[in-house]
Structure 1
Amino acid sequence: MWVGVLGPVEVRDESGAQVVLAAPRQRALLAMLALEAGRIVGHERLVDGLYPEPPAGAVNAVQSQVSRLRKAVPGLVVEHHPAGYRLVASPSEVDSLLCVELLDAGRGAEAFRLWRGTALADVNAPFAADARSRLREVLIKCALSGGTEKDLHDLLEQDPLREDVRAGLMLALHRDGRQAQALEVFARGRELLADELGVDPSPVLAAAHQEVLRAAAPHRGVPAQLTSFVGRDEDLRRVGKWLRDNRLVTLIGPGGTGKTRLAVEVAHREPGEVAFVDLSATTDVARALLDGVGVREAGLLSAGAVSVEDRLRAALANREALLVVDNCEHVIDEAARVLGGILAACPDVRVLATSREPLGITGETLSPVAALDDEAATRLFLDRAQAVRPGFTAPADVVAEVCRRLDGIALAIELAAARVRSLPIGEIAARLTARIDGRFGLLSKGSRTAAPRHRTLHAVVEWSWGLLTEAERDLAARFTVFCGGASLAAVAGVTGSTVCDSTGFDSSGFDSTVSDSTGDTLASLVDKSLVEIAGDRYRMLDTVRAFCAAHAPDLRERHARWFLARAVQAEPHLRAHEQLVWLRELGADHDNLTAAVAWATGHDVELALELVAALATYYWCRGLRTEAARQAEAVLRACGETPPAGREQEYAMCLLIAWPVATGDQSARQRQADALLGELEGPPRYPILTMMWGMALGAPETQSQAWLRRHRLVGSDPWSLALSLVGDGLMAWQQGDPGEAAELLRGGAEAFERVGDRWGVALAVNQLAEHALAAGDVDTALVHIDRACGLLEELGATEDTAEVIVNRARARLHQGDSGGARADYADALRAARRAGAPLVEANCHLGLAVLARLDGDLRTAWQECERAWELCPGGWYGPDEMRCHIAVERGRVAKASGDLGQARQHFDDALRRAAGQRNAVTEATVRAELAALATSF
């Protein structure tokens, strides 16, 4: 049974059929009971809520209404109690109660989708006004949690003085990059509040205003600093000037002198867009830069075999930006190559790099960052010491001597200053003299070619190391196995003394309780500045990590097996309601996962195969297919041409994941994947393997292949069954059965929604939008498009959102709104360029070609077709279908210009490609064009 009050009152029986309640008082009674489902509603309350003027014998009248309601809705259970009546229903059977549950679970978008209009829209009873008012507050919470900008705008139009809605609309505009519009919304609200109520904005609205103001400058990811900037004023002016006159400035000098801090300060003072990229935790320079400039390869539609560097250059080609690239020294050759390519291809991009040595690129301007002089070093020490011990003072000559013994190295000074929390300044000076004075004297005279950064910081960290207990030293050394930080559970699981079993877990399980000693020791390392903490994660500075690693046992296998277990545990959650939570969890450990795969590839290929297979769902949902493909290709090379015994399934997964970057005989790889999957006796361990097979290999060529996929490789779990429905729907569409296709896709969307997989729902409803559009049902198509956009925004799938906006442009064109279509194509094109997604760009140019042809501008239409063709990448899934559509539009443009022979050539090309895709719908479209053309000769 299902009862809905978030709109007109609606009731459906167990089969899903709607039951019509024609009597107004029965609707009102059902609504009152549904709002309190599971709880008794008293007689007096029912009478007052149903009757403006209670009749004689009102209790009996209510009893009569309950009796009629039971007869009108078979299966509805309304229990009578001495105190009143109770509707027997769970919260999942009443939309208002389910809505509140979803809100409490943080699933605002799902809660908002339950609303069908004004609550209790067809109820006219005394209780309704108060109930609507209470439900409206729930609606506003839903809109603030999961509604779109339009939803918030509509609510604000209804109640312009609602400050929480106005704040939500401002933040929605701000997240969309429209700060100016967000500030206009605030200004209008402040004016209304002053004119109509005579009050200033509330703290909620004022906080939203401040957030927008802070982000109005287009900086991206420049780290905020918690301490003052001391002793580099002249460097700051010089670097700022050189950066205005040169496109590449590199800050060079020993480690710890303050290159990063200087670069951050310069970046904060630069106008325009600034992206900060730290290379310290990666060896993949292009990938780190791609993430740093805000580009992701997100999930629905493949962009083909486009390299990360091509995407990066495409994303920056039309942007004025400053890239601050930190810690280049350990990847100096790769950093020089990638940054050189960006500077050559992107004329409005400038680079500020930090490194121990020059990048060696033509046009590079070097700015040495030397040690601090005595005055600046003393000011820095006192500033940092007073931050950890307010009111700290010390004789200037003693502080100056400490700083001189630290060679004026900024990081060494800061670490020394932190010790005034527990040591007198005299003790700090004495320890420097007694324990490591000779070493500091040696380092001050050392050769610059002998890695001065490492030697100087080695001395600083060695001094800190000498202050640690044995337990602290042991944990600090073991901690160095992590890349990019770790959670407390990971620290305990990987560095603990209990030996992991074959799954990577110790005997106490994955979420084993962290011992007090481990937690206390880690906290002590944080207190002594050997480890940093941000949120619930711990990270060690690379310089400290390099020193501690020399004392560490080799825990890399244990690290890899622990994170394999983590991936295995996470995988089913990535296909369920907890999808976003687990994507964030694994995303935080991305560097550790990458390191685990890299180590296993070189040392334990079976472990590497397991890792790649377990991580496949994570990479797909997060939109990192190219990165996953490169990992898989490396594992395949390490394996050779034959999978290890018992790892055939994981090997097949690697074959499919590596498809976008694979070289050599791809048909041979396809045959090998087919053969390995054909040997499976049942569904794969990870259901995404079946999906990848379908995506990579397309529609089955034979009935036996179709049977294999449908009956042997599709599991009985809900996610696999949902995927099967969507896959069957796509095949039905391609085979020319739109009715069956739509029914299957609707079923797939509903099944994916029950499972909780936003990616799957978005895939299904996006296809439903295309089918509705093909059938001329534009309104339905737009509903599906809006839903797909909302889901993709939750996933952060920028590229796919742009693709859905293209569908919206097509829908608007069907409505005759060419202006709206043109605006949508422009928005999608900007997003695609920013994301470095050439296939989506091609789709946009194809749409602009259609618009130009319809306007009679055939020259522009042809040019847009040519641009779309140029942007189509080669390789894997998707591009050849796009070329088919471009060929059709080329034929239409040629036909409109009177060149029927050329039109025939393009239609023939499109027909060949449609047949190759085994898409009966597209093939029928092309044949219709050819038939129409034949009548013109």
Structure 2
Amino acid sequence: MRIEVLGPVRAYAGDGAPIEVGGARVRALLARLALARGEVVSVDSLLDGLWGERPSGDHVNALHALVHRLRRALGGAGVVETVAGGYRLNVGAEEVDAVRFEALARRGGRELAAGAAEQAAALLRDALKLWRGDALADVRDLPFAGTAGARLDELRVGAVEDRFEAELRLGHHGEILADVEAAAAGHPLRERLAGLRMRALHAAGRQSDALAVFDEVRRTLTEELGVDPSEELRRTHVAVLRGELEIPEAAQARPEAVPGRLPAQLTSFVGREDELRLLAGLLEASRLVTVVGPGGVGKTRLAVEVVSRHRAHRRGRVWLVPLAGVNTADGLPEAVLGTLGTADGRASGTPLDRVVNLLAGGEGVLVLDNCEQISEPVAEFARHLLERQPYLTILATSRGPLEVMGEALCRLGPLELPPGTRGSRSCRRIGRGAAVPRSGGSRIVAGSSTSYTARLRTGRVDGGPGRGHRAPAGRAAARPGAGRGAAAYHERRSAGQAARRPLPAAQHRQQGSRAQAADPPRGHRVELGPPHRSGTDAGAPDVDLSGEDGDRRDRGRLCG
């Protein structure tokens, strides 16, 4: 869930869908709890913040009603928790835009103080993009919102001043001059803004206008506050007057990576809620996270889902690099460059240097998918990137750890059965596997140690070229060649042949029914047929592909 208070109060679900929160006081309650950053807010504090310092007894009942309405809007009592003496909003602090703004603004200020103007400007731009208007705009008349909103407004102006300072150091005076003029007009008593305006005008060759700004500010300060300009502003005035103010030259434009794009998913994401929460937490706490698991278990799908919910994705700073086709160390940076979208023939430096430069510009997430073929080069590459880009996070998927210092692991196993499936009439345990009901008159038996996916339609099992399996039953038994498919499959498995030849087309066809499945592991069975058999399907038997003690026998029967 995401809460926004830098503007009208808004709430959004995890998938980005807006949540309707009706009523000004309900939204004010949401904002008050969100600004507490996960801390408990006492009932007395809520009463004072929503109704003033002298609430009546009826206001306590009104507060309980507001909490009920907020819980109903947000989807349950678990979001707004009742704690001894008050309430707490069970939402991560990083999901509140005001908290993210303050964190980015502080980081930008530190970078500016350290002389890293480019990094500071990028961070401060990201921070200011979070604003959608005046803070708490639609609840500003309530008691708590006045103080909280004024504090956020002051932090915003400070971030604006830091951003102008960073841009001026980079020689971007022409790009920000209009913004500086507008900000100074809105805050005529802020001397730092006046000094930034004078420097921007002087750098643009407008010395007389810069001197006029000083006279205007001095007059305003004298008339409204009865004070003289500060020592710093007077020094800026003297430097402009003497022409001694340094004018930085704009640096050559740095190439930037194209906005990241994640692949569109053809199906909805079901399950893995615990893994999603775990992986999201690891991405906040660690800069290198690896999803580890066997092939086909869903590592890529989980990684794409979690980064699609990451705040960097909303700014276009999440990139997915598929490495399944890369098998050399030299191909790794080239694959990353291909995803970042650079086509500048003038770019200089090593491929790693070019990747580092493209990833600069603030927080970002780089997803390296299927690293198992070149795990050692990936580990070295990731280490260099993280050392040179302090605001980059790398999410890798692999069958084994990268073994880099500071790496956090998320181990992924087979998908758990949906609740309530065990013991039902349409889902029963067979051998070592557990049956999972599927639509379309079919069900899959997934093993306890290995998961695999299959598409089943009654009547045929086909794992692709060279993986057709059939068994005679009913009408199929009378057809020429029926029954040889499953036997041929077991013969090939027992012979240990690496390459399988396709079976004749006649053995793959049966009018009106077919099935497709991945080659199931030994000891698992696939059931074909409707979960609840009735009528002509009542006698439909199972197809057993376990391969145990019978590799050369056709042990399945298939109903046509």
TM class by shorter chain equals 0.3 to 0.5
- Structure 2 length normalisation: TM-score? 0.41
Bigger helix fraction? 1
- Structure 1 length normalisation: TM-score? 0.25
